[in-house]
Structure 1
Amino acid sequence: MKEFWNEVIENGLCLDDSYACVHIFTVLERLLPHCKEKDIPELFSPKIAEFLLDKLAKRKDKGRIRQELVSFTLRLPSLVAAFSTASKQLSVLRCLFSSPAYIHFDAITRTKTLANMISSLNGEGIKMYLEWLKELFFKETESADFAGVRRWICRQMLTLMKNPNVPREEGWMMEAAQFFFLHAFFEVKNQANYPPITGDLREEIAQHFYSAVEILSNSPPFHAEPDLRLHGVAPDGTLRAYKLVNHAKTLLSSDSVECLTPFSEEVQEAWETMISTVDKIHKKYSDSTSATAGLAFQLLFLQVGLQTFREPEQCAEILEDLQLCFEKAMGKKDKLKKKTDEPEWMEVIVEILISLLARSSHLLRTVVEHSFKIICSNLTESSLQLILDMFDPDKQKLMSLLSFDGDEESDGEDEELIEEDAALDEDGEGGENKILNGKKSKTEDVDEDEDSDSSDDDDDDEDEETAPVDAAFRKEVMNALGDAGVLKQQEDDSDSDLNDEAMSAFDDTLADVFRTKKKKNQKFDAKLNEETVVHFKLRAFQLLDIFIKKNPDSPLLIKMVYPLLVIAGTVKGQRDAMILAERAAQLLEIKFFKAKKYPQSISKKDIAYISETLEKLMDLQSK
C-alpha cells in the first residue's frame, strides 16, 4: 500500500496537471474512514497538502479541477466529524498544518476548510487541538516569521472560544484564558530553550485575555439550565472571574514565574484588600444563582482586579474607592429595613456604577458596562430613574457628579464615544456613521496638561512659576508693556527707571490683559464642562442600550419612551444637543420601533402611565 501510494499518487498523479489528478482526493476520501490513525500522515502527506493548496490558490481558474477540489474540501469536515476518535480527527487537521505557511490555508484558498473542520471536532477533539496549539506555541518552526505563527496560534485559541459551533466546556475555556493571562503578564523561568515572547506579542495576548474574560463573563453555565444562573457563572455556582483571580493569586505566589510589572506597595495593598473582601463576599453569597448586592460588588472587585495587571496604579485607586463604596453600601443595607419586594440594593449599585462611569476612563467604562449586563435584569423603576435623571436639563446634578473628574487623565475614549456610540447598528454595538467627522475633543489635551485641583495655594504658586507660558499671551503682555517690556528683557532693574505715574499706567494695562485672559479661560472651561457632560450622557446611553438589549420584554421599557422622545426632540442648533438627540432617536428607531420582542403583560399602573405619557406627547407636539 505504501509503495503504491508513493509511486502512483505522490510521484504520479501529483505531477499530473490533467483532470486525472482529481482522483487523488477521490481515493483519499474513500480510504480515510477505514485507515488507522498512524497511517493518516502517510496518506494525507505534506506533498498532497501542498498540491491541494496550490490548486485551490488559483482562484481565477474556473476549470473542473478546482471545482472538484472545492467540493472535496466541503465534504472533508463531515468526513472528519464521522471519525470514531478525537485523535483521528486531529490527525487529519494536523496534516493540513504540515507547513507553517498552511496556517493561512483558508485565506489563500478563499475557502472555510480549516474553520469547518475545527467546528466539526467533538469535545475531546477540541481539547486535544488546544493542547497541540500550546505545544506549537513553544516549538520553534522553520518559518522566518515565528512571531506571526505565535500570533496565529493565539488568535486560533480565541476564535475557538468565540465559535458557537464547537462544544463549549468549562475546562478548556478556562485553560485558554489562563494561558493568555500567564504569557501576557508573567515570564516563565527556566525556559531558556524556548524563543522569547516579544513585547508586541505580549500586548496582543493581553488583549486576547480580556476578550476571553468578556466571553467567559457573558456566557451562561455550559451544559446547565441557562435561566437558573447568571451569565459568567460556572456550573458550581462560582463566578468565572473569581476563578481567574485565584489563578492570578497562585501565579503571584509561585517561584516558577515572575510578574513582568511588579506591584508597588500601594497596588499590592489594594490587591490584597480586594482578595480579602472578595473572599468574604464569596463565603457569604456562595449561591450565585440569585443576584445580590454582594454578587454585584464581587463582580466589580474581580473585574477591576483583573485589570490591575494592565493599569496597576489606576486600578489601585479604583479598588480603594470601590472598597469605601462597598463598606458604605453594605452598612446602609444592614441598617435599612426592607419596605418593598424590590431589591433596594439595586439603587445603591446603580449609583456606584454611575459615579464610576463619570470618570474619563475606558477601563471603568468597560467594567461598568460588563457589570451592568449581568445585573440589569434586576433593574427597578427607581434605579432606572437614577439613570434617566442623568439626562435632566438641570446640569447641577451632573456637575456635582463630574466635579471630581477634572484631574483625571483622559484616555481618548470620549472622542470614540461620540463617534461610535452616537451611531448605533442593529445589534447595539455601534455603527459606521461618524457624527463629529473625526474632530477631536479638547478634553484629552487639557486633562493631560492641567495640574491637580487638590493642590494647596503654595503648590499653585509653584505651578504658575514653572508652567510654560502661552506664546500668544506672552506677546500680548509684551505689547501692553511697550518700552518697559523691552527694558525688562535688557536689564533686570529696568523698572527702577519708571516713575509712579508710568507704573500705574502699566498696571492698568496689564490688568486689562489678564482680565481678558481670564474671560477666555472661563469660556474654555465652560466649553470643557459642556463636552464632559455630553461624554457622560453618551456613556449613560450605553446603560440604557444594554438594558433594552438584555430585557426587550421588560415593562420598564415603557418608562424610557417619553424621556428619549424629549431628548430626541430638543435640537436647538447646538452641536452637543444634536449628538444626544441623534443617539436618542437611534435608540427609539432601532430598539423600540423595530423591536421583535416587546412587553407582553403590563399592569394597570403601566396602562395609566401610558395614557399620561400620550397626553404629554400631545402637549409636546402642539408646542
Structure 2
Amino acid sequence: MAEMKSPTKAEPATPAEAAQSDRHSLLEHSREFLDFFWDIAKPDQETRLRATEKLLEYLRTRPNDSEMKYALKRLITGLGVGREAARPCYSLALAQLLQSFEDIPLCDILDQIQEKYSLQAMNKAMMRPSLFANLFGVLALFQSGRLVKDKEALMKSVQLLKILSQHPNHLQGQPIKALVDILSEVPESMFQEILPKVLKGNMKVILRSPKYLELFLLAKQRVPTKLESLMGSVDLFSEDNIPSLVNILKVAANSVKKEHKLPNVALDLLRLALKESRFELFWKKVLEEGLLKNPSWTSSYMCFRLLGASLPLLSEEQLQLVMRGDLIRHFGENMVISKPQNLFKIIPEISTYVGTFLEGCQDDPKRQLTMMVAFTTITNQGLPVMPTFWRVTRFLNAEALQSYVAWLRDMFLQPDLNSLVDFSTANQKRAQDASLNVPERAVFRLRKWIIHRLVSLVDHLHLEKDEAVVEQIARFCLFHAFFKTKKATPQIPETKQHFSFPLDDRNRGVFVSAFFSLLQTLSVKFRQTPDLAENGKPWTYRLVQLADMLLNHNRNVTSVTSLTTQQRQAWDQMMSTLKELEARSSETRAIAFQHLLLLVGLHIFKSPAESCDVLGDIQTCIKKSMEQNPRRSRSRAKASQEPVWVEVMVEILLSLLAQPSNLMRQVVRSVFGHICPHLTPRCLQLILAVLSPVTNEDEDDNVVVTDDADEKQLQHGEDEDSDNEDNKNSESDMDSEDGEEEEEEEEKEEEEEEQEQEEHQEEEQEEEEEEENQKVFQDQMEADVEESDDVEEEEEVDDEEEDEDDDYDDDEEEDRMEVGAFSLAQGSSVFENTRTTSRKREALQGSAWQVSSEDVRWGTFPLGRLPGQTEDPAELMLDNYDTMYLLDQPVIEHRLEPQKSKSSTLSLCCGGSNTNSSSSSSSGNMEGLLWNQGQMHGLKAGLQLF
C-alpha cells in the first residue's frame, strides 16, 4: 500500500476541493483502512482486539483529519447496526480510540451520536437500534476513563441515561446499571450535585426496581448526609418494606439466572444490615421467612451464594446464627435432592466461598475450626451432606487441623446427635418408617462418613510437615479396625477411648476398608520419598510395628479376630524376616519383598487363615531368592521334587491380584518386575493360564509364539499320526452307532456317510500340506541352528560355567519341564490348546507374548476396586492399561520366516544345551522356534500386569 502523502500548504482549497481531496486521499489507502472496521465486528475476540490495535496504530502514524473523521463516523454508525453482537465491539473500539486521542472532545462525540441516532426523530423501526446506540455510546465514553473528568459530558450522559431508562421494554435496567457504575467512580462533590437529578425522594420508586434500590444503597454508602437531606430518615428494614425487599430480591435473582452469580443489590443489602445492626432481622425476615417460604431454584441459589459471600463479614455469634438456621437446612436438603447437573454447579461455588474464608483467616484457627465443624454438622438423618473428600481442608493451618481431627475422633467415639443440624427430606417424612429414625442408624451413618473424612484428610497433608496428624489418624484407624480394649493403659492412648454407642460389625467393616485405603494413600509409590517417616521407615512398616506392640500387650488389648498359635507364629516369623530384609535395605529387590510382606502381614487381621499360609510361602520364597546362587538352589529343589521358588511366588502374586485392592496390585506389579529375570517357562504357563482360562480339564495352557510377518496368524498343525488315529476311532464309533440304529434311522446314516467322505478328502489335503511344511521347516531349522552354532563357537565362554549350564539344563529338561523337541509327526498334549489361543489375533499383536485386555475374563480373574467403587470394569481406570505385556523386551534371538502356507506351527523347545538343540533340530524332531535355558536366564524384561 502506498504511503500517505503529506498535505501541501501552497494554496488554500475551497470546501468542495477539500472534500474532493479527502475522498481522493482516502481512496489511496482505503483497502487496509476499511478492513479494520470489518475485523472489529467479527465475533472472535482476538481478531477484534488485533484490529482495534492496528486501527489505532494506523491513525497514530497518519494524523490526517479525514481518516480520523471517517473512523469516528464508522464507529458511531456501528453502535446501532442490526447485528447485536457487533455493537459492543464498536463501543469498545470507540472507547479505546477516545482513550488514545485525548484531544477529541467527548461532547462532540456525544452530539454526533445523538445526531446520528436521534431519540426524538426515530421511527418504530429504528427505535431499538437508536436506543442501543445511545446506550453503547455513553458506555464508550465511560470506558475511555475520561467521562468522570469532563463535567459537561458527564451531565449530558447522566441526562441521556435518565431518558433511556424510560424504555425498559428494550433496555430493561441497563441504563440505571450504567448510571450506578458511573456514579460509583465520580468524586463525592460531583455525586452530591448529580444525586438530586437522578433520584427522587419517593421510596415507592426506589423499591420498584433492583437498579433503583442499588442506586439508593450507593448513595447511602457514599453521601448519606445528602441522601438524608433529600429523602429524610429512611428505615429500609421496616416491617412495611420487608415484602418489597423480598420481591426485589426475587426479581434480581431471576435477572442473573443465566450468569450464575450473586446480584450486587443482595450483597449491598447485607452490608447495610450489618452496618445498621439489623442483620438478624434481615436474615430471618427477608431470607428465611421471605425468599424461602415458597422458594424457586433461582431464589434458593441466590440465598446460597449470599450465605457464602457473607461468611468473611460475620462475627462468631452471627456465624452460629447462619450455620444453624433454616437456610442451612434448606441448603442441606438441596444437596440431597438436587439433580446432578444442579448439584455440580453449586458445590464448586460453595467450596470457593469456604476456601476464600479459610484462606483469609489463616491466623485464626478457632474461626477456621468453627467453619469446618459447622459444615460437617449439616446432616440428613445422621449422614453429613458435604463430600468426604473436600479440597478446602488444605487451607487449614496446623492448629486448626489438629483440632478438627480431634473433633472428628471425639464425635466418632461419642456421637452428639443433638449438636447436629439434622433434617429429613419430604419423601423421608412421608415414609414415616420408625426404623429410620432410631439413633443407632444415625450413629452408623455419621461414623461411616467420619472414617472416610479422616482418610481423605491425609490426601491433602504434607507427610513431612503434618506427620503427627498422619500418625494420629493411622493409629486410630488401625486400633479400632482390628483391636479391642480389655484394660486401659497409659502406654496405649487408644485404650482410654470409650464408645458411647458400641462399635458394631458394620462400622468395623467400614473401618477395615478405610484402613487399607489409608495404606493406599500412604504407599502410592513405595519409594524413599514422602512415603517414609522421620526415622527412615515406611509408614506400612511403622503400622506393622504398632500392631506387633498391640499383640504383645495381650493383657490390655485383644484382636477382634483371635489369632491361633500357628497364625501368631507366622506373624512372629514375619517380623524376623522383616529384620533380615531391613539389613539388606540397599537392594531394591529387598524393598519390594518387604513391602509385599508388610501388606500381606496386615491382612492377617482381616483374613487370618488365608494370610497365614501365604505368609509362610512368601517367606520361603524370599529366603531362597536371596541366596547367593539361586540357580544351584533350584537344581537342588528339583532333586528333592520341590517346586522352584519363583513358580510359588508367581502363584502367590496371581492369587493376590484377585483381591479387591489397588494397593495390592501395585505391590504385586513391583515384585513381578524384580522376579522377572528368574522366570521359568512354567511361570509363563501359569500366567497364561489366568489370562486364557478357557481350557479343557485335561489340557495345560502353553506359550504361543506366532510369526506375523505378513500380518496373518499361522494355524497350528496337529500331529499326523494322532489325527489319523483319532479319525479312525471316530469312524469306528460312528459305524457302530450306525449299525445299532440302522433299522430306525436310515436317513441319518446317509448323512453321516457323506460327512465321512468330506472329512477324508479334507484330511488328505491337510496331510499333503503338512508334509510340505514339515520339509520346509526342517530345512530352515537346520540352517538356522548351524548358523547359530557358528556364532557361538566364536564366543569365549568359561568352561566351568558351560559345564554348570549344561548340568542345570539337563536337570531342567529331565526333572522339571519334561518337554522335548517335537515335530508334526510327534506332538505333545501340552501344546494342544494352541489352536484355541492362536485364533485370537488381537492377543498377539506387537509382541511374541501379548494379551489384549479384551481377553481378560472378569468373572474368572476379577480385578479389585477401591472402596466405594462399583463392580463395573469400566470404572477401574484401565485407560493406562489398554494392553498387558507379559514381557517388555524381546527375548527371541532367532525367528524363522516360514513360507506362506495355510497352516503351520511355531512351538517352544525348552531343551538342554546348544549341542542337544542342534542334534534335535537336525533329526527333524523340532520345528519353529528354539529356546535354551541360557537364553531363558538372559531375560531382562519386567513383567507388567494391570
Q: TM-score per shorter chain, which class?
A: 0.5 to 0.7
Match of 1:444?
Answer: none
Give the Å deviation of 1:125: 5.1
Partner residue in 1 for 2:622:
326
Please name the residue that 1:563 is paired with.
Answer: 849
Moved more, 43-52 or 241-250: 43-52
| Counterpart residue number, 1:95 | 374
Call closer, same or farther: CA 1:213–1:28 in 2, change over 3 Å: closer
User: Secondary structure in 1 aligned to 2:616?
Assistant: helix
Q: 2-side partners of 1:250 and 1:124: how far apart?
A: 29
Aligned to 1:257: 557
Aligned position for 1:297 = 593
Decide which of 179, 194, 212 is 2:500's aligned counterpart.
194
- Cα deviation for residue 136 of structure 1 reads 1.1
Give the counterpart of 2:509 among 199, 203, 207.
Answer: 203
CA 616–166 in structure 1, closer or farther in 2 if over 3 Å, else same: farther
The residue matched to 1:561 in structure 2 has which SS? coil
Question: Higher helix share goes to which structure?
Answer: 1
Structure-2 change in CA distance of 1:130 and 1:96 (3 Å): same
Partner letter of residue 290 of structure 2? D
Query: What is the match of residue 412 of structure 1?
Result: none
Partner of 1:373: 669
Equivalent residue for 1:80, pick from 334, 357, 363 = 357
Q: Please name the residue that 2:477 is paired with.
A: 180
| Correspondence 1:7 to 2:281 | yes
Tell me the equivalent position of 2:919. none
- 1:316 corresponds to which of 612, 622, 625: 612
Q: Which residue of 2 aligns with 1:154?
A: 451
- SS of 2:622's partner is helix
Alpha-carbon distance in structure 2 between the residues aligned to 1:614 and 1:125: 70
Contact 1:130 1:157 in 2 (8 A): yes
1:14-25 correspondence to structure 2 within 5 Å: 14-17=288-291
Query: 1:171, CA displacement in angstroms?
Result: 4.3
For residues 91 and 366 of structure 1, what CA distance do their matches in structure 2 show? 36
The answer as to 2:507 corresponding to 1:237 is no
Between the aligned partners of 1:619 and 1:106, the Cα distance in structure 2 is: 67
Residue number in structure 1 paired with 2:410: 135
Question: Aligned with 1:196: secondary structure?
Answer: coil
Which string of whole-angstrom CA distances, capped at 9 and with x for unpartnered residues, describes residues 489-546 of structure 1?
Answer: xxxxxxxxxxxxxxxxxxxxxxxxxxxxxxxxxxxxxxxxx9xxx9xxx9xxxxxx9x
Residue 297 to residue 617, structure 1, CA distance change in 2 (3 Å): farther
Equivalences, count: 416
Deviation, 1:96, is 2.0
Q: Distance in 1 between matches of 2:606 and 2:468?
A: 25
Q: Contact between 1:96 and 1:102, CA under 8 Å: does it hold in 2?
A: no
- The secondary structure found in structure 1 opposite 2:474 is helix
Q: TM-score, normalised by structure 2?
A: 0.36
Pairwise CA distance, 1:13: 2.7
SS of the residue corresponding to residue 218 of structure 1 reads coil
Q: What 5-or-longer segments of structure 1 have no aligned partner?
A: 222-228, 338-347, 394-398, 403-529, 539-544, 546-556, 581-585
Q: Distance in 2 between matches of 1:328 and 1:87?
A: 57
Please tell me the residue identity of whatever aligns with 2:356: L
Rate the CA distance shift 1:117–1:49 in 2: closer, same or farther, 3 A.
farther
- How big is the shift at 1:79? 1.7
Q: Which has the larger radius of gyration?
A: 2
User: Counterpart of 1:139 in structure 2: which amino acid?
Assistant: Q
Q: Is the 8 A contact 1:89 1:121 kept in 2?
A: yes
Alpha-carbon distance change, 25 to 114 in structure 1, aligned in 2, over 3 angstroms: farther
Distance 2:660 2:333 in 1: 49
Measure, in 2, the Cα distance between the counterparts of 1:220 and 1:364: 19
- The CA distance in 2 between the partners of 1:205 and 1:614, in whole Å, is 57
Q: CA deviation at 1:370?
A: 4.3
TM-score by length of structure 1 reads 0.53
> Matches of 2:316 and 2:532 in 1, distance apart?
38
Q: AA paired with 2:323?
A: F
Structure 1 residue 5: Cα displacement = 3.3
**Counterpart code for 2:449:** W
The structure-2 alpha-carbon separation of the partners of 1:54 and 1:326, relative to structure 1 and needing over 3 Å to count, comes to: closer
Does residue 268 (structure 1) correspond to residue 564 (structure 2)? The answer is no
Cα distance in 2 for partners of 1:363, 1:185 equals 19
Separation in structure 2 between the aligned mates of residue 127 and residue 29 of structure 1, nearest angstrom:
25
Cα distance in 2 for partners of 1:3, 1:115 equals 34
SS at 1:195 equivalent: coil
Which amino acid in the other structure matches residue 137 of structure 1?
F
The answer on whether the counterparts of 1:183 and 1:202 sit within 8 Å (CA) in structure 2 is yes
Residue 32 to residue 11, structure 1, CA distance change in 2 (3 Å): same
Answer whether contact 2:646 2:678 (CA < 8 A) is retained.
no
- The question of whether the paired residues in 1 share the 8 Å contact of 2:853 and 2:883 is answered with no
Q: Which residue of 1 aligns with 2:137?
A: none
Tell me the SS of whatever aligns to 1:16: helix
- Name the SS for the 1:96 alignment partner: helix
Q: Give the secondary structure class of the aligned counterpart of 2:558.
A: strand
Report SS of the residue matched to 1:263: coil
Q: CA deviation at 1:114?
A: 7.8
Change (3 A) 1:364 1:237: farther
CA displacement 1:177-234 (0-9 Å, x = unmatched): 332221122113466662110122212211222232233232456xxxxxxx379544
- Any conservation in 2 of the 1:137–1:150 contact (CA below 8 Å)? yes
Does the CA-based 8 Å contact 1:281-1:295 persist in structure 2? yes
8 Å contact kept, 2:444–2:507: yes
Amino acid across the alignment from 2:546: H
Which has the bigger relative contact order, CA under 8 A and spacing at least 6? 1
Q: Secondary structure of 2:537's partner?
A: coil
Whether the 8 Å contact between 2:621 and 2:649 is mirrored in structure 1 is no
Q: CA deviation at 1:137?
A: 0.2
TM superposition shift of 1:354: 0.9
State the alpha-carbon separation in 2 of the partners of residues 300 and 568 from structure 1.
Answer: 25
1:216 is aligned, of 514, 522, 526, to 522
- Alignment map for 1:567-582 (pairs within 5 Å): none
1:52 is aligned to: 331
Q: Which residue of 1 aligns with 2:390?
A: 115
Asked if the contact 1:80/1:117 (under 8 Å) is kept, the reply is no
Q: Quick one: distance in 1 between partners of 2:457 and 2:548?
A: 26
**Counterpart residue number, 2:913:** none
Query: How is 1:398-409 mapped onto 2 (pairs within 5 angstroms)?
Result: none
Shift of residue 139, structure 1, vs aligned partner: 2.2
Which residue number in structure 1 is paired with residue 580 of structure 2? Answer: 280
- SS of 2:484's equivalent in the other structure is strand
Deviation at 1:568, TM superposition (A): 10
Relative to structure 1, the CA distance from residue 237 to residue 385 in structure 2 (aligned partners, 3 Å threshold; closer, same or farther) is farther
1:16 offset after TM fit, Å? 0.8
For residues 591 and 61 of structure 1, the distance between their equivalents in structure 2, rounded to whole angstroms, comes to: 28
SS in 2 for 1:258: strand
2: CA distance, partners of 1:181 / 1:56 = 32
Cα 1:56/1:241, change in 2 over 3 Å: closer
